Amino acid sequence: MSVSDPSRLRLCFIGWGAIASRVGELLAERQPSGVEIVAVAVRDPQRQRTVLPQGARLIAGQDELAGLDIDMVIEAAGRPAVAIWGEAALRHAGSFVVSSASAFTDEALLARLLAVADETGGRIVVPSGALGDLGALAAASVLPLDEVQHTIVKPPLAWKGTRAAEMIDLDRLERRTEFFAGTARQAAEAFPQNANVAVISALSGIGLDRTRVALVADPSAARNIHEISAAGAFGTLELRLENEPLKTNPKSSEMTALSLVSLIENAVAPLVR
C-alpha cells in the first residue's frame, strides 16, 4: 500500500455509520502506531453526532480533501458514495478503500476510477469484508478456474427491508429457503447491502458474470454464513465462515469491520499478516 511515510497513516472515512464507527472504536482501543483518523465525510456536517474520532474534521464536499494530507480514504457509506467520492479520493490520497464493492457492477464507473488511479498512481483497494480473507481464491485464480459458487445464508431478520420480503414470507419462515440464484453481478444489483460481499468473491476469482451466487434465509441460523467453493487447475477449495452480525446493523457482519481494522494495521505494520 502506497503511503508517503510508511510509519504513519492519515485516514479519512466516507460515512460514519455502523461499520465505520465500529472500526473507529476498535482503532481507539488498539491504538496502532502512526494511525490517525483526520477527517470524516458526511452528508450533513451540521447534524449532531456522537463518538466521532477525537480531533477528526467533518467534511461534506470532495474539494475539502485537498490539503488534508490524507494517505487513505475508506468508503463505508454505501454504493452511491463510491461514484461521488472515488475520483477525489484517488487524487488526494494514495489509496481508496471501497467497502461497497457492489458499486463495481457499474463497469463504466470502475473503468473511470481505474483510469484515474493509473493517472495518479493511486490504488483502489477492495477489502475482504465479511469473508475475512480470500487469499487462497485469489491465488487459485492465477491458473484457470472452472467454477466458483458463493452461498450466503442469513437469518430472516437480516433480509428484512430487501427484495427478499417480496419473494418469501420472512415472518413465517420455518425452514432454510433459497430465494435467489444467479450471478454475482445480479445478486449485488438486486441486494446491494446483503450481497455486496458477492462482488468481493467475484473479483477475487472468475469475475462478476461467471461467479454463481445463491441467497438463503434460514430461521435456524444465528449468524451470517458464507459458503464458497471453487474448482480449477489448482485443485478444489471449500470455505465456510459463520460471522456474528454487527450489533448495530444485522445486515452486516462484525467481520466486515474487523477486516478494515486489519487492512489499516497492516498498512503501517513492520510484519504484514
Measured CA to CA, the distance from residue 122 to residue 124 in angstroms comes to 7
Please identify which residue in the block is written with the cell numbers 494517505: 71
Which whole-number Å values give the CA distances from 145 to 92, 126, 185, in the listed order?
Answer: 37, 21, 18
The question of whether 226 is a catalytic residue gets the answer yes
Cell output for 269: 505494520
Residues contacting 47, CB < 8 A, separation 6+? none
Instruction: Please choose, from the candidates 33, 37, 112, 48, the residue with its C-alpha nearest in 3D space to the C-alpha of residue 76.
Output: 37
- Binding site listing for NAD(+): 130, 196
- Binding site listing: 130, 196
Q: Could you tell me if 53 and 11 are in contact, meaning their C-beta atoms sit under 8 angstroms apart?
A: no
Catalytic member of 16, 226, 255, 261: 226
Measured CA to CA, the distance from residue 131 to residue 226 in angstroms comes to 7
Q: ∠61-63-68 over CA atoms, to 5°? A: 105
Residues shown for the chain:
273
Beta strands (DSSP E) in 99-202 are 123-125, 145-154, 177-183
Cell output for 157: 431478520
Measured CA to CA, the distance from residue 192 to residue 116 in angstroms comes to 24
Annotated active-site positions, please? 226
